[in-house]
Structure 1
């Protein structure tokens, strides 16, 4: 029974009729030939009730549309694994993995960067197949890499890609996949002996806990991340972790408001004044004064501080237009800030802009926040 399809559909708040509409629109945009709406209604009902298996043709359409993996769509317990070969095949794969660290790590990093750029501009849901294939190639290479010198560069590349994949899964509403991707990132970071990637994966994983309703545990995890080989972390990563702690403390409630403000102050002190956005050794993080302004506005809005308005508008006016999904967050924060001041027209205006940005990127996470704010207005 394809309960995974039903779960993915409901995670987006879609009815079966809405799914049919989105399937047909997706197909028309890509010149794909699919069944009529009446036939799709029958198919979806049969897929979800186990009376018909989802064909590969429709699975290929549904995966990027819903932002799920093949296993999640079909609700398979595990993906089919290739049958093991003999010693000849094993040695061949070991030899191949040895060459990967010398010639293929740079292309793998470039592929991760391309997926990261596409993600922030267009959203994560349409990148599921590409990201799964990317991770599988790196996991396979790491599995058959023998010596530490061969493993470390592959593991570092896998840690960065897995963290990106985890954030994409969280944004798509695939919470369990996000958690497992973060665990993969942490293990890869340990294999790479990289305190930077390990701490970053722990810091982002804390957001899964916060979204799941465990804000205090989330705060403890991000604080533990800051203690993870603290002397070997870069200044920009330290600032990022402090800002993440501030946001998570603010989300935990008024009892941690002073902790949130203290963490914000610490982030400002730690952030290098070098005019750069990223560290060369920590490409997973984007953080400069403009990004920190947006973060500060988010935290202050959560705390009900009126100064959040100035920070958020300053961030909005100076934002990089390629960060489309991030703009949904800024407009959500401005909605909240205007609502707190009783300025309902402005709140509704920003809520509509947040909804458009969330829909454009397919962000289930921001769509949920938009719906919560809609209920208040």
Structure 2
């Protein structure tokens, strides 16, 4: 139990502390720190003539709140456009060149959301943050930073929940399932992608539903659930809208048309050891968008896997060589790891 001086003595002490005539002892510091809510540096007044600082910071807080209130829809569009720029650079050059820029982008969005007060200011910023965090998470996963990827997905999910955007929530949740797979929990990954489908519900666009079923098909194939994988693949084909359009107008982070789905189908069939995989994959390679460098690296890996299943080692080796060149361009740790795993089967 701490003993303190009398009331009269304490009045003297406080006066002397404030005027710098008496040093605060550790005994009184233990009392004053929790009462005033200050750090040791603040309490002992480093480089200050006033030993006990006044509790404040309101001016800075109000300034931040005012700045957040002034974030208009135009500014939110700027945030979204910046995310779109990072997405374009990412698919062509890879995530390794964007780590610092993406971190700064997320910090700016988080700051804007933290100090926004009313829903009309918070909701559009939260939506922008949900999209940016999910992109940053996939980039982190591609770079092999799995814990950072997981945390970014959690950030994206929280932002999507605040914004009331079930499509963004479903997308972030489904991508997060890939972290579980890469961490050696394929069954849990399947459970999570199915939870993502539930979260999307009836509000999910047809293109997003197709994407979610395709992701389920892939994760089921990785988990050795062949029948369920094939059923999910059929659902993806049934949900996908007709036409060559790739972007989902309701959610710009989704790229999926018949060509992309054909590649995904080939990937799944290759994992299942199906002879139809090669036809789908070569069709996808012929129609691949040349700007999707990282995706093409993955496609080459799929082709190598399909040829290995047929014991066609020369063709597999050629595709792995091309895959490595592309993976080196984008710095994809995830693809490079897969290439080494496939090379071990040669």
Deviation at 1:190, TM superposition (A): 0.5
Aligned-residue RMSD, C-alpha: 1.1
Measure, in 1, the Cα distance between the counterparts of 2:66 and 2:260: 43
Alpha carbons 1:101, 1:154 under 8 Å: kept: no
Assess, with a 3 A threshold, how the Cα gap between structure 1 residues 85 and 361 changes in structure 2: closer, same or farther: farther
Measure, in 1, the Cα distance between the counterparts of 2:56 and 2:246: 46
Alpha carbons 1:124, 1:362 under 8 Å: kept: yes
Moved over 2 A (4+): none
1:315 aligns with 2:315: no
Deviation at 1:154, TM superposition (A): 0.2
Measure, in 1, the Cα distance between the counterparts of 2:104 and 2:168: 21
TM-score between both structures, scaled by the size of structure 1: 0.76
Alpha carbons 2:157, 2:172 under 8 Å: kept: yes
Deviation at 1:275, TM superposition (A): 3.2
**Corresponding residue for residue 4 of structure 2:** none
Alpha carbons 2:161, 2:169 under 8 Å: kept: yes
The structure having more radius of gyration, on CA atoms, is 2
1:338 aligns with 2:339: no
Is the partner of 2:254 in helix, strand or coil? coil
**Corresponding residue for residue 149 of structure 2:** 178
Alpha carbons 1:101, 1:153 under 8 Å: kept: no
1:139 aligns with 2:105: no
1:245 aligns with 2:193: no
Task: Give the gaps of 5 or more residues in structure 1.
Answer: 1-83
Deviation at 1:85, TM superposition (A): 6.9
**Residues 78-97 of structure 1 correspond to what in structure 2 (within 5 A)?**
86-97=57-68
Larger CA deviation: 86-95 vs 179-188: 86-95
Measure, in 2, the Cα distance between the counterparts of 1:174 and 1:370: 18
**Corresponding residue for residue 305 of structure 1:** 274
Q: Indicate which of 293, 313, 318 corresponds to 1:324.
A: 293
Deviation at 1:117, TM superposition (A): 0.3
Measure, in 2, the Cα distance between the counterparts of 1:130 and 1:280: 26
Deviation at 1:88, TM superposition (A): 1.4
Measure, in 1, the Cα distance between the counterparts of 2:211 and 2:147: 24
Measure, in 1, the Cα distance between the counterparts of 2:231 and 2:197: 15
Measure, in 2, the Cα distance between the counterparts of 1:249 and 1:98: 45
Q: Indicate which of 322, 329, 339 corresponds to 1:370.
A: 339
Q: Indicate which of 221, 233, 253 corresponds to 2:204.
A: 233
Deviation at 1:311, TM superposition (A): 0.2
Q: Indicate which of 190, 207, 210 corresponds to 2:161.
A: 190
Measure, in 2, the Cα distance between the counterparts of 1:340 and 1:361: 27
Is the partner of 1:321 in helix, strand or coil? coil
Deviation at 1:341, TM superposition (A): 1.0
Aligned length: 292
